């Protein structure tokens, strides 16, 4: 008689076969998406060249580049503040400096496909107790999905306001919003977290953070300010290229573009930091208003400025003067750990 569970060796063989297949599928998808965007830009090359010959500037003024970098880092600080609140709800309270240090350094993990390194880097710098590592990882996931969900909704509202006739992009914005909002409410997220924790041997453990609606409400306000700063960053790049708010139909269009482009790029998990996806959406949404050459230049320069800003911030927080303001991060993290664990038991969930 065959075992009830079937042939274990066959099951292992199937899993290993899937893993081998994914090793080829994932790079193929990355090349496919990247190639599609490159082809699209190349097909626009004649128009770009015409606009360049007509005197359209493709180089950014330094002061606007610096302004775009500063506003971007200020915007990400608002998202870091929300994550700091989530750590408190999870019984993992840390000084703000420790949380921001982990946040900025961990941001570099998004440049690895699947973005899992973000969780590893942040969790390592927060240094939670062994029994709290899974809960720490869940706060990272929740903060990220909340940030992108708010961004998708902002993109949908702004796009509907300034350009309601673009039905396809409105559907993309709506689909992105629905996909991300599904994770946002604390009860739904807890259910999902409990389900995905079972394969890791945590079926009977209390692994989910004690998420609260008032924390989420405060987080939405923080994230609105964060996205406003990111929209201001893109506006700075456009100004630096010689564009203007009038040409881009106001800050609402720019804000909606950067929010939707970033959120949709996040959903394409196999693309590091939404590479090519974000640029494609920025070009498609802004080109009719500011010109194709300026839109292409803005999308590329925004990527460069944001990446360099993230690297600089990570270095400063990890090794630079800011590290000294946190005292000894390892000592700060471990102090009060017992109190955190005890207080988390008394928290009631919404």
Could you read off the pLDDT of 87-129 as tens digits, one per residue? 988 888 888 988 999 999 998 888 876 667 888 888 888 888 7
Alpha-carbon gap, residue 87 to 315, rounded angstroms: 23
pLDDT class for 36, splitting at 50, 70, 90?
A: low
Q: What is the pTM for the complete model shown?
A: 0.77
Contacts of 114 (CB under 8 A, 6+ apart): 269, 270
- Residue/partner pairs of 177-180 with CB below 8 Å, 24 or more apart: 177/149, 177/152, 177/153, 179/152, 179/267, 180/145, 180/148, 180/149, 180/152, 180/263, 180/267
pLDDT class for 214, splitting at 50, 70, 90?
A: confident
83 has pLDDT over 80: yes
Q: What is the pLDDT of residue 334?
A: 42
Q: What is the pLDDT of residue 335?
A: 40
Q: Which whole number is the average pLDDT over 149-166?
A: 91
Q: Where are the domains of the chain?
A: 62-337
Q: 138 vs 335, which has greater pLDDT?
A: 138
Radius of gyration of the chain (CA): 22
CB atoms within 10 A of CB 96: 11
Q: Give the side-chain half-sphere CA count within 13 A for 249.
A: 17
Q: 30 vs 273, which has greater pLDDT?
A: 273
Question: How far from each other are the two terminal CA atoms of the chain, in whole angstroms?
Answer: 50
298 has pLDDT over 80: yes
Q: Which whole number is the average pLDDT over 33-62?
A: 60
Q: What is the pLDDT of residue 318?
A: 85
Q: What is the pLDDT of residue 90?
A: 82
Average pLDDT for the chain: 76
Q: What is the pLDDT of residue 191?
A: 74
Q: Which whole number is the average pLDDT over 206-235?
A: 86
Q: pLDDT tens digits for 267-292?
A: 776 667 677 788 889 998 988 888 88
Contact 283, 295 (CB under 8 A): yes
Lowest mean pLDDT among 103-117, 185-199, 208-222, 238-252: 185-199
141 has pLDDT over 80: yes
Q: 303 vs 188, which has greater pLDDT?
A: 303
Tokens of 196: 């995905």
Q: What is the pLDDT of residue 157?
A: 94
**How far from the centroid of its chain's Cα atoms is residue 48's Cα?**
30
pLDDT class for 345, splitting at 50, 70, 90?
A: very low
322 has pLDDT over 80: no
Q: What is the pLDDT of residue 22?
A: 55
Alpha-carbon gap, residue 305 to 236, rounded angstroms: 11
81 has pLDDT over 80: yes
pLDDT class for 16, splitting at 50, 70, 90?
A: low
Alpha-carbon gap, residue 259 to 316, rounded angstroms: 27
Q: What is the pLDDT of residue 319?
A: 80
Tokens of 343: 């207080």
308 has pLDDT over 90: yes
Q: Which whole number is the average pLDDT over 253-277?
A: 83
Q: What is the pLDDT of residue 207?
A: 52
Residue burial 120-158, b: 16+ Cβ < 10 Å; e: rest: ebbbebbbbeeebbbbbbbbbbbbbbbbbbbbbbbbbbb
The share of the chain scoring above pLDDT 90, in percent, equals 27
15 has pLDDT over 70: no
Q: What is the pLDDT of residue 228?
A: 96
Burial label for 342, CB within 10 Å (0-12, 13-18, 19+), is exposed
């Amino acid at each position: 008689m065959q075992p009830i569970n079937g042939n274990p060796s066959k099951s292992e063989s199937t899993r290993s076969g899937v893993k081998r297949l994914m090793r080829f599928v994932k790079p193929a998808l990355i090349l496919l998406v990247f190639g599609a965007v490159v082809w699209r830009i190349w097909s626009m090359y004649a128009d770009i060249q015409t606009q360049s010959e007509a005197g359209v500037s493709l180089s950014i003024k330094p002061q606007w580049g610096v302004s775009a970098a500063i506003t971007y880092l200020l915007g990400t600080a608002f998202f870091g503040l929300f994550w700091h609140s989530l750590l408190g709800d999870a019984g993992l309270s840390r000084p703000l400096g420790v949380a921001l240090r982990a946040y900025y350094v961990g941001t570099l993990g998004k440049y690895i496909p699947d973005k899992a390194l973000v969780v590893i880097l942040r969790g390592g710098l927060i240094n939670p107790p062994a029994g709290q590592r899974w809960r720490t990882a869940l706060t990272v996931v929740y903060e990220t999905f909340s940030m992108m969900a708010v961004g998708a909704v902002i993109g949908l509202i702004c796009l509907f306001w300034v350009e309601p006739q673009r039905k396809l992009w409105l559907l993309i914005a709506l689909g992105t919003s629905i996909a991300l909002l599904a994770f946002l409410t604390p009860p739904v997220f807890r259910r999902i977290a409990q389900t995905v924790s079972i394969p890791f041997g945590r079926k009977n453990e209390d692994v989910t953070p004690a998420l609260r609606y008032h924390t989420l409400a405060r987080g939405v306000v923080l994230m609105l300010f964060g996205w406003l700063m990111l929209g201001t960053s893109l506006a700075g790049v456009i100004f630096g290229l010689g564009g203007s708010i009038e040409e881009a139909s106001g800050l609402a269009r720019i804000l909606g573009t950067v929010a939707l482009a970033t959120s949709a790029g996040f959903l394409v998990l196999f693309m590091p930091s939404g590479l090519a996806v974000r640029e494609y959406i920025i070009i498609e949404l802004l080109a009719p208003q500011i010109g194709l050459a300026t839109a292409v230049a803005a999308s590329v320069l925004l990527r460069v400025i944001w990446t360099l800003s993230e690297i600089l911030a990570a270095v400063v927080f990890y090794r630079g003067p800011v590290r000294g303001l946190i005292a000894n991060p390892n000592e700060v993290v471990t102090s009060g750990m017992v109190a955190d664990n005890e207080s988390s038991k008394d928290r009631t969930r919404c």
